[in-house]
Amino acid sequence: MKQVLAIEDDATIVDLLEIHLKDLSCSLTKTYNGTDGLSKVGKQAFDLIVLDLMLPGMHGLDVCRKIRAEQIFTPILILTAKSEEKDIVNGLEAGADDYLIKPFGVREFIARVKAILRRGDIGIGKAPVFDKKFVFNALEIDEEKRKVSLGKQRVDLTRKEFDLLLLLASHPGRSYSREQILNLIWGYEFAGFEHTVNSHINRLRAKIEPDINQPKYILTTWGVGYRFSEEVVR
């Protein structure tokens, strides 16, 4: 069974989630405040975290940031009563994988959960990838281990930062529009949040570029989007 953690202070919603997660062969662990939820994340492996934003103890965005700061890449589905774009963007940039606006329909919830779990199962039934690495001068990307090193020093990336870097580095010289990146990394449902891509590119550059004002790895294709430099390929 898939293990799901719900961090939600509304017991009625939690009970509703539990009923429908059982139909998806998921076992639900319940917590009702941010502090307790964060504690459970550190003690047990989960396949999905369903996270409310307005929580007692600790705000959901802070919980999300702390989870990602600990290099825990469990998918996070945010539940929020706030539908303003900035609130959704803040959730995505904190490291969430998806979001639902309250009140939400059961069918939509089930569809989102299935999609997230399916993404996590990508590769099952296919030939495994062994020691697939990309080396670009001092930058090394290990796809299997999801590890990035720069000059032999490990670079700590969030899940989305790694996925974004891997996408670009897998196709040096190919330009991707912000919309294409958004669809490939976050999913089509995030259309309109292209500035989230810009924020992630900026943070990624700050971590891997020797000079962010003159990037050598992730380049801007003016009028289009971004590309990985062909000049560093060896």
Q: What is the arithmetic mean of pLDDT over 17-26?
A: 93
Q: What does the pLDDT read at residue 82?
A: 73
219-224 average pLDDT score: 93
Q: Is the pLDDT of residue 86 over 90?
A: no
Q: Count CA atoms within 13 Å of residue 217 on its CB side.
A: 27
Q: Which of 183, 191, 156 is nearest to 167 (CA)?
A: 183
Output the pLDDT for position 125.
32
- Rounded to 10 degrees, the C-alpha dihedral 7/12/14/17 comes to -140
CA dihedral 42, 43, 46, 51 (to 10 degrees): -50
| Mean pLDDT score, 64-78 | 89
Cα 197 → chain centroid: 12
Mean pLDDT of 142-154: 89
pLDDT at 50 over 50: yes
Closest CA to 161 of 218, 122, 200, 209: 200
pLDDT beyond 70 at 126: no
Reported pTM: 0.66
pLDDT tens digits for range 181-200: 888 888 756 666 788 889 89
Tokens of 59: 């705000």
